[in-house]
Amino acid sequence: MDIIRHESGPRMSQANIHNGVVYLAGQVGEGTSVKEQTQSILAQVDRLLALSNSSKERILSAQIWLSDMADFAEMNEAWDAWVAPGNAPARATGEAKLAAPKFKVEIIIIAAQNG
């Protein structure tokens, strides 16, 4: 079975598809607040899933990394407004030092393609 890669560079691809499953790279967003960055990330997730013949209704799992767990409620405010009702994925949230100090949130998604 072939692997399809979207938005590939020398280091990584933003989305890979294999056997009907979409794997997104960790997404970081623009903005100064946790809520703004989360909203920016979720817009990128929507775009990458559409490019990969999937959608937020098809998300299987999400890993969310926060630079500070004190921002959990603020991130959830954006997440809860976005997540597809009745289609919440399995999810884990943890605290980690992210790639650059300006990043407060990073989200990794695995989704099924549309049937």
Q: Taking 90 as the threshold, does the pLDDT of residue 1 lie above it?
A: no
Would you state the pLDDT for residue 65? 98
Sheet holding 90-95, edge to edge: 3-8, 13-18, 21-24, 105-112, 59-66, 90-95
H helix or E strand, kind and range, residue 66: strand 59-66
Q: What is the pLDDT of residues 20-47, one digit of tens each?
A: 999 999 999 999 999 999 999 999 999 9
Q: What is the pLDDT of residues 73-105, one digit of tens each?
A: 999 999 999 999 999 999 999 999 999 999 999
> Which CATH number fits the domain 3-112, given the four candidates 3.30.1330.40, 3.40.50.1580, 3.40.640.10, 3.20.20.60?
3.30.1330.40
Q: Taking 90 as the threshold, does the pLDDT of residue 49 lie above it?
A: yes
> What DSSP designation does 21 have?
E
